[in-house]
Amino acid sequence: MKKLRWQILIVVLALVAIGVLLLGQQPSLLPIVPEVKPATGGIYSEALVGILGRLNPVLDYYNSVDRDVDRLIYSGLMRFDARGLPQDDLVESKGISQDGKIYNFSLRKDAIWHDGKPLTSEDVIFTIELMRDNEIPIPEDVRSLWKDIEVEALDEYTVQFRLPEAFAPFTDYLTFGILPKHLLGSLTAEQIINDPFNLAPVGSGPYQFVRLLSDGGKITGLVLKAFNQYYRDPAFIEQLVFQYYPSSQSALSAYEDGEIEGISQITPEVLPEAMKEPNLNLYTGRLPELSMVIFNLDNPEVPFFQDVGVRRALLMSLNRQRMINTLLGGQAIIADGPILPGTWAYYQGIERVNYDPEAAINLLKEAGYTIPAEGGSVRAKENQKLSFELLLPDDPEHQAIAQSLEQDWARQGVQVRLTPVPYDQMVNDYLDPRNYQAALIDLNLSRSPDPDPYPFWHQAEVTGGQNYAKWNDRQASEYLEQARITVDVAERTRLYRNFQVRFTNEMPALLLFYPVFTYAVDNQVQGVTMGPLYDTSDRFATITSWFLLAKRSTGVEASPASGTLIPGQGTATALPSEAP
């Protein structure tokens, strides 16, 4: 037994010694994983689906591909973060009066134009004066806003805005691109519309214009380069090349041929083909749009719309996910509330109303609507049939959606008559005069992340405004009133949460879905991220962080001359497709 114990002890000591030796050798045995850091350089080429108009931020409201490029060339006083909260851009500091009517903004003194001139208060005022001009093609509500606001340069780098009344969403309207007065100040608005400046712009953003690309006298693209004196961190990608294509299909073909690395929009019809490309990364973001069915809650021809139980039953009867999958190619998200998800004001705890046709039938029965004993397929209550007319835009997509609505409701004993009309006619002849029963509409909330549902749901907008449903709810209106004049974000969040709960409980409209936008970039481009969109140009919100070249640092690198270890060195290389 004694001999055996000594043998065991010797084995244990030997194992310990071996372990110590291995531990000492461990650093040289482990592989060194190189750290990848962005490096400056490279050229990124993207297909823009559309045609060039004017590269001018006060002239690009109706051309999304112009806004894409302008987003890179110009800067605004404010910009939005990923949750839609306004953040300082050209603004260095700001102050707001207690009554919320006066805003003072101090501009950054390191912001300069691409031609080297300083950007000052006069440039801001000049741009706003243009937006007030009736010759400039911008939405009338934006023009009216600026006509009602007094703007004054307190000094070379300080601008004061005086509002007629408190308006909390005001800073959302300060993201417009600033124009250089020293280049355009001598021109009238009418002259600016056709000035050569619009094809050779000068801005203050992260990229500056280099030249147009043309073929046979036709503009086919343009080139931008990183502005090294940009007041924020300069972009890593040295040059951007944009080329124009008539469709997503032609843009995808160009990618397959190796002509470009990115595609500005992947539409549903080309999505399956794009998904087969092994090196093409797809990025999807929620668009600032909301599709819904609104009811005329004050129309005596359809009194059942005033019953919240009937309205809820109509929503529970709809298989919205099937519509998204089969009609929209999966390019939408079920809508649960009137405020866009992903924003600071969206309430995560809002009730989700799911597809439940059986529960919907029970609600209709509780409301007194049953299939007549004498026969028929339409539910009725005291000779009042569950039957109504649904207006819809006369395009193929809306017609397909409306037909799906009609079929889902027909299964529940609800009769719907579809009436397609041109969108302008729907607004002017039916919605504005409140001469309708129900309508399939889209709310476009582009360019301003602030939710501000006031125009669509407040009592004051029932007559003459955009509250087409004529939802006359005092409690909801009070939440909207207070949120509109409260500067404190936490308090506004609370008020909008209460509004969303009230909206879901009362259900003045049936919310269908939020469309999504799909963007494609080759996987050799690193650092690309995309969150919820307030405009399709928001896909470039983080472009200064994108990179094509990387500095690979191992912490230690062998010197080819001596073989000694040199700490902290690395090399800039193009990233292969499998790079982390």
Same domain (yes/no): 147, 230: no
Tell whether the model's pLDDT for residue 564 goes beyond 80. Answer: no
Give the tokens for residue 430: 């039916």
Q: Spell out a b/e string for 464-502, using b for 16 or more CB atoms within 10 Å of the CB, else e.
A: eebbbbbbebeebbbbbebbbebbeeeebbbbbbbbbbb
**pLDDT at residue 375, as a whole number:** 73
Separation in Å, CA 179 to CA 123, 204, 414, 569: 6, 9, 55, 43
- Categorize the per-residue pLDDT at 573 as very low, low, confident or very high, splitting at 50, 70 and 90: very low
Instruction: Give residue-wise pLDDT tens across range 472-531.
Output: 999 999 999 999 999 899 999 999 999 999 999 999 999 999 999 999 999 999 999 988
Same domain (yes/no): 406, 299: yes
**pLDDT at residue 36, as a whole number:** 74
User: Which residue, among 485, 488, 490, 491, has the nearest Cα to 452 in the 3D structure?
Assistant: 485
Q: What backbone torsions phi and psi does residue 17 show, to the nearest 5 degrees?
A: -60, -45
What integer is the mean pLDDT of 74-83? 93
Instruction: Give residue-wise pLDDT tens across range 255-314.
Output: 999 999 999 999 999 999 999 999 999 999 999 999 999 999 999 999 999 999 999 999
Alpha-carbon Rg for the chain, nearest whole angstrom, is 30
Same domain (yes/no): 450, 530: no
Name residues whose C-beta falls within 8 Å of residue 282's C-beta, 6 or more positions apart in sequence: 266, 274, 275, 518, 519, 520
Bridge partner residues of 517 (DSSP) = 285
Give the Cα separation of 275 and 285 in Å (integer): 16
- Structural contact between residues 124 and 237, judged by C-beta atoms closer than 8 angstroms: no
Name residues whose C-beta falls within 8 Å of residue 51's C-beta, 6 or more positions apart in sequence: 65, 244
Give the Cα separation of 258 and 360 in Å (integer): 53
- Categorize the per-residue pLDDT at 446 as very low, low, confident or very high, splitting at 50, 70 and 90: confident
Give the tokens for residue 441: 């509409």
Q: Other CB atoms closer than 10 Å to residue 81's CB: what's the count?
A: 12
Domain-terminating residue out of 130, 162, 194: 194
User: Which residue, among 574, 579, 577, has the nearest Cα to 41 in the 3D structure?
Assistant: 574
**pLDDT at residue 376, as a whole number:** 81
- CATH, residue 427: 3.10.105.10
Give the Cα separation of 31 and 23 in Å (integer): 15
Tell whether the model's pLDDT for residue 2 goes beyond 90. Answer: no
**pLDDT at residue 28, as a whole number:** 46
Q: At which residue do the structure tokens 């060195």 appear?
A: 569
Same domain (yes/no): 231, 95: no
- List the single range of 15-19, 166-170, 418-422 with lowest mean pLDDT: 15-19
**pLDDT at residue 554, as a whole number:** 53
User: Which residue, among 67, 41, 42, has the nearest Cα to 54 in the 3D structure?
Assistant: 67
Question: Measured in whole angstroms, how far is the alpha carbon of residue 346 from the centre of its chain?
Answer: 14
Same domain (yes/no): 508, 441: yes
Same domain (yes/no): 331, 300: yes
Domain tally, the chain: 3
Give the Cα separation of 175 and 79 in Å (integer): 5
Domain contains 2: no
- Structural contact between residues 550 and 572, judged by C-beta atoms closer than 8 angstroms: yes
Residue-number span of the structural domain to which 114 is assigned = 75-194
Same domain (yes/no): 170, 255: no
- Structural contact between residues 338 and 458, judged by C-beta atoms closer than 8 angstroms: no
- Categorize the per-residue pLDDT at 31 as very low, low, confident or very high, splitting at 50, 70 and 90: low
Percent of the chain topping pLDDT 90: 82
Q: At which residue do the structure tokens 């502005």 appear?
A: 227
Same domain (yes/no): 63, 109: no
Name residues whose C-beta falls within 8 Å of residue 242's C-beta, 6 or more positions apart in sequence: 45, 46, 47, 48, 68, 69, 221, 222, 223, 224
Domain contains 6: no
Give the Cα separation of 213 and 239 in Å (integer): 14
Give the Cα separation of 108 and 503 in Å (integer): 42
Same domain (yes/no): 365, 494: yes
- Structural contact between residues 505 and 471, judged by C-beta atoms closer than 8 angstroms: no
Output the pTM of the full model: 0.85
User: Which residue, among 572, 576, 580, 578, has the nearest Cα to 38 in the 3D structure?
Assistant: 572
Separation in Å, CA 198 to CA 59, 71, 272, 318: 9, 14, 37, 48
Domain contains 567: yes
Same domain (yes/no): 355, 483: yes
Domain contains 19: no
- Structural contact between residues 130 and 189, judged by C-beta atoms closer than 8 angstroms: yes
Domain-terminating residue out of 173, 194, 215: 194
Domain contains 24: no
121-132 vs 140-147: helix crossing angle, rounded to 10 = 130
Domain contains 12: no
Domain contains 48: yes
Q: Where are the alpha helices (DSSP H) in 93-227?
A: 121-132, 140-147, 181-184, 189-193
**pLDDT at residue 33, as a whole number:** 58
Separation in Å, CA 34 to CA 21, 29, 577, 580: 26, 15, 16, 10
Domain contains 16: no
Domain-terminating residue out of 159, 194, 229: 194
- Structural contact between residues 72 and 540, judged by C-beta atoms closer than 8 angstroms: yes
- Categorize the per-residue pLDDT at 49 as very low, low, confident or very high, splitting at 50, 70 and 90: very high
- CATH, residue 539: 3.40.190.10
Question: Looking at this protein, which amino acid is placed at residue 52?
Answer: L
Same domain (yes/no): 62, 79: no
Same domain (yes/no): 170, 107: yes
Give the tokens for residue 358: 């059986």
Give the Cα separation of 299 and 308 in Å (integer): 15
